[in-house]
Amino acid sequence: MSTVAGLLDEAPRSRFHRRAVVVSGMGFFTDAYDLFVISTVATLVKSQWHLSTTETSWVTGAAILGAVLGAFVFGRLADIFGRKTVYVTVASVMIVGALGSALAPSAAWLIVARVVLGLGVGGDYPVSAVLMSEYANRADRGRMVSLVFSMQALGLIVGPLVGLVLLSSGLSSQIVWRILLGVGVIPAASVIVLRARMPESPRFVASVQGDTALALAHLRDFSEGTVTSESVAPNSPERLSIRAFLRDRRMIRLLVATAGSWFLFDYAYYGNTLSLPQILKEVDPTASLEAKLAWSLLLFVLFALPGYGLAIVRMDRIGHRRLQYLGFAVMAGCFGLLALAPPLVTHVAPFLAIFGVSYFFVEFGPNTTTFVLPSELFPVSQRTTGHGVAAGVGKLGAFLGVFLVPILQNHWGLRGMLAMAAVASLGGLWLTRALPEPAGQPLDEVSPVTKEAPKPVSDIKLS
């Protein structure tokens, strides 16, 4: 006798899966656009409002600080009230934050609005990842979840493109940064209606809410007739309490390994990426803002985008844990080489080449896998909670990176800052060793918990 979880694990890919990727992925396009366009905005408002380095860092890092809290709070709420409710709510929060940022009359207003935006961004991480993981079959789960996350690549590319167009348009810089921030409202608003039409996770409905009939109705809606069964048993009851979750040694080990590796990765990645204009200025002090934007775009298009693509195609075959391990290793090597060889950080071409290789393995590695792994490793009743903790701690690393990287660069120079990024990558590599390999396994068997024996039930027909 089949279960809802078993049917989902073995279901073929369908049009619904593709729609779910787009609907969830548009949230990540918004996330990436809003988070990474701020480096250009910060440069413009620093001049307009005569901000100090600390104030500028707050403008740059406020959304990431909000994302820390948003991941914790909305991740927990999605395990209590369901994924779908939070799925729509976080998109609404992003709209409010983006609109408030574009209309900011002062630095303080802008910082608060960016925190609000970050609440929605942080909440989108656990909900989008877990929903896609719970919709997916076991053979393609990594591919589908990473496809959601890969929409970040479009945000990375569109942000600099919009910036280049606006800066070249002749518009006042005071108007340019407001338009840059206001554009973030458009994709967030476009997904609210689509998200409201998505079904609740059948795994959550069956296992946590205990309503197998409703779970099957949702499953029938998006399976397009590809899932059929004469009789379906309910999933074994799986209502692990938050207290039991936090007392389980295996769960704590998984939390430490997923959150710790995400923290160390985001410290290196966000610190470097959001400080990229300052980094490139040290490599070439004479470069204009337009030139630095063009170099950033070059890095994203030639290195980051192919990395995303290869991760999507290969991660389920390579293994999610193994891919994270590989990515951290190459990142450590690239950052270490740049730190140890002074000529490499004083010439644009060799710096961009080696930094670009690190960008490729960032995407073909931990930037994708730190998002995917927590959506698989925790039991269904605490899955968004676990992912939210990992994402929140990761964004705390990003927040610290945004503040520490400019300070380290001022005190230790670019090479000292890159050496710290290499150390962080080695730490992420070490923590990855503590994770199991979930690729290809049934989702509910990746992180088993003690469950009650299933009670006999009447057969439930699928029409």
Which residues sit opposite 2 in a β-bridge? Answer: 232
Which pLDDT belongs to residue 426? 96
Torsional sign, CA 196, 201, 204, 210: positive
CB atoms within 10 A of CB 293: 25
Torsional sign, CA 304, 310, 311, 312: positive
CATH assignment of 2-446? 1.20.1250.20
Which pLDDT belongs to residue 154? 83
Which pLDDT belongs to residue 457? 35
User: Cα-atom radius of gyration of the chain, to the nearest Å?
Assistant: 22
pLDDT tens for each residue of 416-445: 888 888 999 999 999 999 999 999 999 888
Three-state DSSP class for 2? strand
What is the C-alpha separation between 281 and 235, in angstroms, rounded? Answer: 57
Distance of CA 437 to the CA centre of its chain: 20
Question: Rounded to two decimals, what is the model's pTM?
Answer: 0.85
Which pLDDT belongs to residue 222? 66
Which pLDDT belongs to residue 226? 56
Query: Tokens at residue 82, please?
Result: 């369901």
The domain spans of the chain are 2-446
Task: Please report which residue ranges of 197-248 form alpha helices under DSSP H.
Answer: 202-207, 212-223, 242-247
- Is the Cβ–Cβ distance between 417 and 405 less than 8 Å? yes
What is the C-alpha separation between 388 and 74, in angstroms, rounded? Answer: 7
Q: Which amino acid, 177?
A: W
Distance of CA 144 to the CA centre of its chain: 14
Which pLDDT belongs to residue 229? 52
Which pLDDT belongs to residue 463? 33
Nearest to 158 by CA among 49, 313, 35, 249: 35
Which pLDDT belongs to residue 461? 40
Q: Which amino acid, 285?
A: P
- Is the Cβ–Cβ distance between 17 and 143 less than 8 Å? no
Which pLDDT belongs to residue 462? 35
- Is the Cβ–Cβ distance between 63 and 117 less than 8 Å? yes
Measured CA to CA in angstroms, residue 452 lies from 61, 207, 235, 378 at distances of: 45, 12, 10, 18
Measured CA to CA in angstroms, residue 92 lies from 68, 185, 280 at distances of: 18, 10, 35
Torsional sign, CA 257, 261, 264, 267: negative
Q: Which residues have CB under 8 Å from 333's CB, separation 6+?
A: 422
Task: Please report which residue ranges of 136-197 form alpha helices under DSSP H.
Answer: 141-167, 173-182, 185-196
Task: Please report which residue ranges of 284-372 form alpha helices under DSSP H.
Answer: 289-299, 305-318, 320-340, 348-363, 366-372
The size of the chain, in residues, is: 463
Torsional sign, CA 416, 111, 79, 150: negative
**Through-space distance between the first and last CA atoms of the chain, rounded to whole angstroms:** 17
Report helix, strand and coil shares of the chain as percent, to nearest 5. Answer: 80, 0, 20
What is the C-alpha separation between 270 and 424, in angstroms, rounded? Answer: 12
Query: Tokens at residue 122, please?
Result: 């942080």
Over its length of 463 residues, how does the chain's per-residue pLDDT go in tens digits? Answer: 577 778 888 878 888 888 888 888 887 888 788 777 888 898 899 988 998 878 888 898 899 889 999 999 999 999 999 999 998 999 999 999 999 999 999 999 999 999 999 999 999 999 999 999 999 889 999 999 999 988 877 887 788 788 888 888 888 888 999 999 999 888 888 888 888 888 888 888 888 887 777 877 777 766 665 555 555 665 555 677 888 888 889 999 999 999 999 999 998 887 666 566 667 777 777 777 777 778 878 888 889 889 989 999 999 999 999 999 999 999 999 999 988 988 887 788 888 889 889 989 999 999 999 999 999 999 999 999 999 999 999 999 988 877 776 676 677 777 888 888 899 999 999 999 999 999 999 988 887 664 443 443 334 343 3
Q: Which residue has the tokens 């945000």?
A: 155
